A = this chain, B = another copy of it.
Amino acid sequence: MTEMQLILVLWLVGVLTEAITGALAAGRNRMDLFGVVMVACFTAIGGGTVRDVLLGGYPLIWVAHPEYLLAIAITALLTVACAPVMRYLSRLFLTLDALGLAVFSIIGVQKALSMGCSPMTAIAAGLITGIFGGILRDLFCQRVPLVFQKELYAIVSLATASLYMGLTLVEVSEWVKLLICLPLGFGFRLLAIRFSWSVPTFDYQEQTAH
């Protein structure tokens, strides 16, 4: 298996995991099956889509490969069918989501670099890929994005993307970069969940200028 095949497999795991979390979020909003499929799509490929629209990286991945949309739709409908057992799998989803977060962050950096972006833009692209699926999910489910309020999630994405970018600058081989960044990003997120690490909150309740 080449490193690109590894990253593709992990990307697919991440995409389908995000499809499941999107479908469950839609269910919490009592959406119909069509809404479930749509929110699953936004969650699963929203991050990469926002990144590519912002970078002008056309064609988008799901435009070139619409079969991913089909895979996401099927995953979303299977999630509905298997809803009764989903509650017992929440730990598994958190784990797969943590893996997906690390993979998405790395892929975002790779994509931006392949388009000739600067290191700082590439890190931003990694972050956008990592977190925007969840932001879109929360936007369509009418809640302030979780990633802005709770848990160490975005910071994990930022750290993973930055580390990958740093290793790229010192010209480490692709395998070594993946073997360093994937476990560290994945482990960082798992530790953040385990110990409920979070970022300080800014609570500003004065009435001021809008």
Contact = CB atoms under 8 A, between A and B. Distances in A.
Given A28-B204, A30-B201, A149 B63 contact: no
Contacts of A25: 210
A124 to B, nearest CB: 6
Interface stretch (A7-15, A53-61, A172-180): A53-61
A202 B63 contact: no
Contact of A140 (B36, B55, B144): B144
A30 B202 contact: yes
Instruction: Give the number of copies in the complex.
Output: 3
A175 B80 CA distance: 40
B34 A154 contact: yes
A101 B90 CA distance: 39
B144 A143 contact: no
Contacts of A27: 202-205
A74 interface: no
A149 B35 contact: yes
Given A140-B144, A142-B144, 10 more contacts: A21-B210, A27-B202, A27-B205, A31-B148, A31-B202, A32-B201, A34-B154, A55-B60, A139-B139, A141-B144
Interface of A: 21, 23-36, 38-39, 49, 53-56, 58-60, 62-63, 66-67, 69-70, 80, 83, 86-87, 90-91, 93-94, 97, 117-118, 120-121, 124, 134-135, 139-150, 154-155, 198-206, 208-210
8 contacts: A26-B148, A28-B205, A33-B201, A33-B202, A56-B60, A86-B208, A93-B209, A94-B209
